[in-house]
Structure 1
Amino acid sequence: MMIPALIASVGLPLLAKAVGSALDGLDHPAAKTASAALAQVGQALSDRAITPEQVAEANRHLERMTELDSIEARAALAQVNASLRAEIRSEDWYVRRWRPTFGYAVAITWTATMAAIAWAIVAEPTQAPAIITALVNTSPIWGIALGVLGVAVVKRSQDKAVQPRP
């Protein structure tokens, strides 16, 4: 009972004040509204209008919601792993090879892109800022492609470690 009381009396008011101050610094009506609401919550916590028991109940609710999210994430991961295992066991050559094919395609594309950018910057140095800006704008695309490749490599390495050698 001591910890919820401590959180209610010190931690949450401090957090509400810090987040509220940060939001108040933003020039947006939603941020201003949220800042005012957090100030009211902080005041209610300081005045004990929100009791430590209510804070403890809110924490229990948050823990349960986090647990449910974790269960959902584990179920999704189990489905992905089952799909990967089915691909590996497949008799179809391409189904088993699409991940390495994707890896080679990403590597070749990455190399070609970087070579083209290097050549363009050397050939037209005055265009370097625009070229680099354009490259930065491709970061989300490369992030997804390289993320997929990273997961595929790690998963395939794990699968190879588990499979007995012929």
Structure 2
Amino acid sequence: MLFSLLAPLLTEVGAPLLKNLITKHLGGAAGDVGGAVVDAIADKVGVEANPQAISDAYQADPAGVGEAIRQVEIERREDWAAMLAEVNQTMRAEQKAKDKLTRIWRPLFGIEFGLVYSALGAAFVYAIAAAESPINAVGQIGGYLSTYLGFGASVLGVYVWQRSQEKRNGKA
């Protein structure tokens, strides 16, 4: 399914819960819920149950489709709760894991993020304040920040992807 077609549409009509539900269609409850959201919106709008048909209907009648989407968001709050329950189950399983790193990676990552980004912010302010040309300093620092943030996000992304694979294979 082309869920990416619906994400901007859902944001535009003010349905953030539905946007989160369909953009996290990685399997398990989230995948089932993402499909159910598309089905419910299509049913309300009266089109085929696929993101392209919903997007086309929205282009033809933004107000009508927007209202249908907002109604589905209100009706689908229990699905949001189901997805959160699955996430919470994963976190509880991590807390009970035998491996110490599996138990403490979230708090450690949070502490590291806070410390590193505070230091980066302070360095950024200092570099701008101490530079002869603050605009040039922003340009130079921007490249370094992008690289650093890209590496950090990549490491986290690989971990999350790998962990998802482990859960799908039953190695929770």
TM-score (norm 2): 0.38
> Over alpha carbons, which structure has the higher Rg?
1
Structure that is richer in helix per residue: 1
TM-score (norm 1): 0.39
